[in-house]
Structure 1
Amino acid sequence: MTNHKPDLQLDHTVHYVNDLEQPKALFQKHGITVFHGGSHKLWGTHNALAYFGLTYLEFISVESRDVAENPPEPNLIAQSALTYLPENEALTRIAIRTENLDATAESLRESGLDVSPIKEGKRTDSEGKLIEWRMLTIDGGFQGLLYPFFIEWKDAGPDRLAALQKKGLTTHPAGEIALQKAVFEAANPEESVDHWHDLFGIEKISPVELKLGGKKLLFQKGSAGTLIELHFHTDNPDLAGTVITLGSGRYVFTDG
């Protein structure tokens, strides 16, 4: 996948938390809308979400430990909640949105990665509407840096965005907020950038930066091996300069 793939987008980020009310309270205090998303009944988890256009934050918590430990349909992202929680409320990895998951899966398998079968995902939102998607995960990582996972939504992007806007879920009391940059800690940032560029076809813009659908992915030296920080642009002077820390994750808001 060495060619730049323009259809790839940063879909969402995953942060494991013990109590979904905690991120809701932390973010809403600063005028950022976080709402209960729904339950993953086959995985034993549930989530809370914060949308910035179609890109969103996903906070995942264990809803049923019995189901999570013995899921009828195992899922790496859901099961990882048991790895981190309760000790480490970790901001971990990104999901990349694609319009052709089958082609992505074939290409990744040809690269020799440990790729999961494509799984059907679904949850019921607070209004009882069924939300459906397809996804694949990649076990392991590169030099300790976790791989992203890939997702394809059943509904087209414009339709999903219109539905979210109609419900007011992309509107924040603090005003317009846009996700600009995701920061990862890697043992060797430059090698990680080259690896993700070659493997996934993400545009390389500097020795330590990639660009995914208009959003930057910055790799810095460190031992975490995960996503550690997200940067947002805001025009709200009260929000600019704010840093929200939750577990191992940081959410930075600037007017730059």
Structure 2
Amino acid sequence: MYLDHIVHSVMKKPQEVAKVWTDKGIHAVVGGQHTNWGTYNALLYTKTSYVEWLAVEHEEVAKKANHPLIDLMIHDLDTSGAGFSTICIRTTEIDGLNLQLQEQGIKTSGVLHAERKTVSGFVRKWKMLFVTEEISDSLPSPFFIEWEESDEEKYRLLEEDGTIEKSNLELSITVCEFHVRNPREVMDKWKNYFQLVEQDEQTLLLENTRLVFKPSNNTKERLASIEIAGAKKQEEIIYEQATYRFL
């Protein structure tokens, strides 16, 4: 399985977010609107995954959306403000994964259908799957996505509409570092739930990314930082309470 994207909950509008990153020499764009969720986003694509900066556009709609990702975002924004929220793993067998989890006795959301209207007017569609768990300060399980288009088709369309430039394809999200109270407990849970491979005592592997778990005494357990390889300039950027390390 592949890291599909990272969700970073932000307070700023997508236009503001994209401009900040573009001014830093990193090609980011306004994504579009999730009209049923009351949210909108900005995006930074890399070779095989991307960062989604997710913000509330219509608060009343968002609070009534009854959607696991939006509920998590609202919880985080209300309790600690902006910051990394969770990660999404890409699969091509989401219905089979749902069945597999349920056979393990793991309660799920069932396969959810979603769509987003892009700035160009194109409607992008996908399926999502969540582990059903209480929204809290504990580390949320990753959620899963299956896109309507193949990876090749999706990236071709994204290049055509300017979402992806050549510089984006030189970047790779290589590490996601989580700060949790009990790394061993979280790693065992994720290994058992999702059949992930353990590289060492603090690392689980996806096909395109390492998931690193480090101990922390913080009350809130979340993704703390990411590493992005292939950048023209090596630097650490702290943006909206999240750490980006460009290598």
- TM (norm. structure 1) is 0.87
Give per-residue Cα distances to partners, 1:110-160, cap 9 Å, x unaligned: 233331121110011111111000001123379932100011001111111
Residue 150 of structure 1 is matched in structure 2 by 144
Q: Which residue of 1 aligns with 2:114?
A: 121
Name the CA distance, whole Å, in 2 between partners of 1:149 and 1:54.
17
1:227 aligns with 2:223: yes
Is the 8 Å Cα contact of residues 89 and 246 (structure 1) preserved in structure 2?
no
Q: After superposition, where does 1:90-105 map in structure 2 within 5 Å? A: 90-105=83-98
* 1:5 equivalent in structure 2: none
Q: Which residue of 1 aligns with 2:212?
A: 218
Question: Corresponding residue for 1:78?
Answer: 70
1:55 partner letter: S
| Counterpart AA for 1:177 | L
How far did residue 230 of structure 1 move? 0.6
Rounded Cα–Cα distance in structure 2 between residues aligned with 1:182 and 1:153:
22
Name the structure 1 match of 2:189.
195
Structure 1 residue ranges without an equivalent (≥5): 1-7
1:145 counterpart SS class: coil
Determine helix, strand or coil for the equivalent of 1:85.
helix
Contact 1:92 1:228 in 2 (8 A): no
Q: Which shows bigger deviation, 21-30 or 214-223?
A: 21-30
- Unaligned 5+ runs, structure 2: none
**How many equivalent residue pairs?**
242
RMSD: 2.1
- Structure 1 position 25 matched with structure 2 position 1: no
Q: Residue 154 and residue 173 in structure 1: after superposition, are their counterparts in 2 closer, same or farther (change >3 A)?
A: closer
Secondary structure of 2:73's partner? helix
Q: Contact 1:54–1:161 at 8 Å: present in 2 too?
A: no
**Larger proportion of helix:** 2
Q: Which residue of 2 aligns with 1:170?
A: 164
